[in-house]
Amino acid sequence: MVIFDNLIKIFKEYFEKFTLNNKIGTVIMANNTYNSKDIVVLEGLDAVRLRPGMYIGTTGVKGFHHLLWEIVDNSIDEISNGFGDTISITLNKDGSATVVDNGRGIPVDLHPTLKKSGVEVVFTQLHAGGKFNNKSYSYSGGLHGVGASVTNALSEWLKVEVHKDGRKYYMEFASKEVNGKIKSGMPLGELKDIDVTNDTGTKVTFLPDKRMFGDITFSYEIINKRIKELAFLNKGLKIGLQDLRTGQHDEYHYEGGIKDFIKYIDEGKSRLFSTPLYFSAESDIVKMEIAVEYTDSYTENTFSYVNNIPTTEGGTHETGFKSAWTKVLNDYARNSGYLKEKDANFLGEDFREGITCVIAVKMHNVEFEGQTKTKLGNPEAKTEVERLTIQELSKIFANKDYEKIATTILDKAKIAAKTREAAKRAKEISRAKSSADNFNLVGKLAACTSRKAEKSELFIVEGDSAGGSAKQGRDRMFQAILPLKGKPLNAEKKRIDQVLANEEIRTIISALETGIGEDYNRDNLRYNKVIILSDADQDGAHIRAILLTFFFRYMRNLINDGHVYIGLPPLYKVYKKNYTEYVYSDYELPEAIERAGKGYQIQRYKGLGEMNPEQLWETTMDPEKRSLIQVTIDDAAEAEKMVTTWMGDNIDARKAYIALHANFNRQDKFDEEILK
């Protein structure tokens, strides 16, 4: 099974004709040669190599990039405290990364008790406390904030330059083998005063250690996405990325901060405010910034952060905001006479239809909970965010200038409340599993014999004829087939009640048995893998995009939990007497032809329907031979934007995107990108 893609790439594929293809790289462990000199024993840092998971989560791609974020976090802290405004990240040709800021420079004076320079303390003490890493200066939490010493411990070498008080200081560290054991992050000499300088700041270069991470390299895409987010979350910050391996570079700077973030997310939608509502407040418990606006869509889009870390699963800060938002707007509706005495209050969800909001809080001692540890657990965050939000919003809505905005929100909520009633009825229909109506729907489903969800697979197959082949070719023990007659309804353009009226969609909901939206219950899922099988053409890509949009909007956890896959049917059969090879991408075709040798023939498959049951099993369904792409959402804000741009009804935005990015003549370019 191939796991490489994410929702965004799959959508890109639909418009940009990506070839779905991937190669798995092998991990090469390299040996390092260092001259060993006298070494001080540092138990502390060695612990990091012993149990890297405790400090950076994994030694995979995520952990590898974590080394960089540990460093960047320090610069962000410095700039948030009002010192400096610029961070530049460089990916060097030798695999190392450099981070430079124009802050005050890491302290160089001797630590009173440790008798070491501040620089040495920062890079050699785990969880360095006290003077040089005062917890009251920096906001850290979760895996972030374990400190720069962890990056040093897991690097082959690390070099630091500090510009401060007119002097330039330099120090180096390395992890080298002594008597068959690696000593982590050892200082190579003391901090040296090497030159004069006029500026201030810190520059750190480090090379992640191959002995820990194998052949992983820095990903421009991952870093670029994250620094853009950091630029939105830290207004005024100038942050740049330069890749000396490829020449790529990007720079971000948003004077509007999260207000600009909202505009970016809602680009391409019809926005109901001319500018997002913005407020901030601070107490000794939390520091918070919130920006809100509405679009004419029907979904809720909340993005929350704690200490610059996305809280994908929400948590107490989000709950606090939501409850304040509902209260203040209901109060406003009462006091202004918008709601009459006989009218019921609006529900929170009525106020969140079409909302886009970014909630960014900073606080100390954060606790993360939830399946992926991305849910804020601190109870004080709820009460404080709620209190401060009520306080700020009351001020805002007392101002006559905001009357129009308030009315816009109330009008939107009124429609939402009406639809809620309609949706409730529609949901009841979809929930009623035993009803005759539903029985008919699921009648199209060729169920599998096994009731074991962990082994079972559901193939959603484009077209009745391919569906027929799949039914005959499958392993009926664990593979269920759901043929789709037409195109399902594009969920992006419809309200929930309309979505639920669509027969194809209702069939899928009934088959999965989880319920949808807030009712979604992962425990009831009937299939461990939900595999979308559509033709390798534009129509097939469209169906795929429509299905993913539906899952994204109404069953997001099905994707988050890793249950959604794309099946890959072959594009060609290269064959001659006693020889057959199936080819899954244009990229691989020339090689396959070469392997076949003289006298070969090529069959191009225009659709799944052209394959007989045996061929379909052999090429696309047999778990031993098939390739699947697991659908993932790495970046919820970006995925959100893609789904609305591509699946929403703002045609101009979509056209603009395609004109900007799509290049149908450069298949090789996209192959290159995917193969990276």
535 is catalytic: yes
**106 is a site residue for ligand TSJ (CB under 6 A):** yes
Candidates 44, 95, 107, 142; binder of ligand TSJ (CB under 6 A) is 107
From the CA atom positions of the chain, what is the Rg in Å? 28
Q: How far is the CB of 392 from ligand TSJ (least distance, A)?
A: 31
652 is catalytic: no
Number of residues that bind ligand TSJ (CB under 6 A): 16
300 is catalytic: no
Candidates 18, 52, 76, 103; binder of ligand TSJ (CB under 6 A) is 103
Candidates 17, 62, 104, 249; binder of ligand TSJ (CB under 6 A) is 104
The stretch among 96-104, 109-117, 527-535, 641-649 that binds ligand TSJ (CB under 6 A) is 96-104
The H or E element that residue 100 is part of is: strand 97-101
Using CB under 6 A as the binding rule, the residues of this chain from 389 to 448 that contact ligand TSJ are none
Task: Look at the chain and count its residues.
Answer: 676
Q: Where are the beta strands (DSSP E) in 151-217?
A: 155-164, 167-178, 181-187, 192-196, 201-208
Q: Are 321 and 279 in contact (CB under 8 A)?
A: no
Per annotation, catalytic residue among 172, 539, 561, 622: 539
Q: How far is the CB of 189 from ligand TSJ (least distance, A)?
A: 18
Written as one letter, the residue type at 485 is K
Based on CB atoms, which residue is closest to ligand TSJ, 99 or 333?
Answer: 99
Using CB under 6 A as the binding rule, the residues of this chain from 362 to 381 that contact ligand TSJ are none
What angle (nearest 5°) sits at the alpha carbon of residue 77, between those of residues 190 and 220?
Answer: 85
Based on CB atoms, which residue is closest to ligand TSJ, 103 or 648?
Answer: 103
Of all residues in this chain, which one has the CB nearest to ligand TSJ in the complex?
Answer: 148
The stretch among 72-80, 272-280, 308-316, 436-444 that binds ligand TSJ (CB under 6 A) is 72-80
**148 is a site residue for ligand TSJ (CB under 6 A):** yes
209 is catalytic: no
The H or E element that residue 31 is part of is: none
Based on CB atoms, which residue is closest to ligand TSJ, 200 or 650?
Answer: 200
The stretch among 27-35, 100-108, 498-506, 589-597 that binds ligand TSJ (CB under 6 A) is 100-108
Q: How far is the CB of 134 from ligand TSJ (least distance, A)?
A: 7
Question: DSSP string covering 364-412, please?
Answer: SS--EETTTT-EE--HHHHHHHHHHHHHHHHHHHHSGGGHHHHHHHHHH
Residues 32-71: x where in contact with ligand TSJ by CB under 6 A, - otherwise, as a string: ---------------------------------------x
Enumerate the H helices of 130-183 as residue ranges.
Answer: 148-153
The H or E element that residue 281 is part of is: strand 277-282
Per annotation, catalytic residue among 165, 221, 437, 537: 537
Pairwise CA distance, residues 549 & 7, whole Å: 9
Instruction: Give me the residue label for tokens 């630091």.
Output: 160
Based on CB atoms, which residue is closest to ligand TSJ, 72 or 621?
Answer: 72
Per annotation, catalytic residue among 5, 120, 462, 640: 462
Closest to 18 (Cα-Cα) out of 538, 459, 637: 538
Residues 227-266: x where in contact with ligand TSJ by CB under 6 A, - otherwise, as a string: ----------------------------------------
Using CB under 6 A as the binding rule, the residues of this chain from 149 to 208 that contact ligand TSJ are 202, 204
What angle (nearest 5°) sits at the alpha carbon of residue 327, between those of residues 324 and 333?
Answer: 140
| SS3 category, 416 | helix
Based on CB atoms, which residue is closest to ligand TSJ, 204 or 505?
Answer: 204
**272 is a site residue for ligand TSJ (CB under 6 A):** no
205: CB partners within 8 A, 6+ apart: 92, 96, 97, 98, 99, 158, 159, 160
Phi then psi for residue 420, to 5 deg, are: -55, -40
Strands 155-164 and 201-208: antiparallel
Closest to 470 (Cα-Cα) out of 314, 338, 612, 663: 612
Residues 115-134: x where in contact with ligand TSJ by CB under 6 A, - otherwise, as a string: -------x---------x--
Q: How far is the CB of 476 from ligand TSJ (least distance, A)?
A: 57
| SS3 category, 213 | helix
Q: How far is the CB of 148 from ligand TSJ (least distance, A)?
A: 3
Pairwise CA distance, residues 149 & 155, whole Å: 10
Pairwise CA distance, residues 106 & 550, whole Å: 50
| SS3 category, 267 | coil
Q: Which residues are catalytic?
A: 462, 535, 537, 539
Given the rule CB under 6 A, which residues bind ligand TSJ? 71, 74-75, 78, 99, 101, 103-104, 106-107, 122, 132, 137, 148, 202, 204
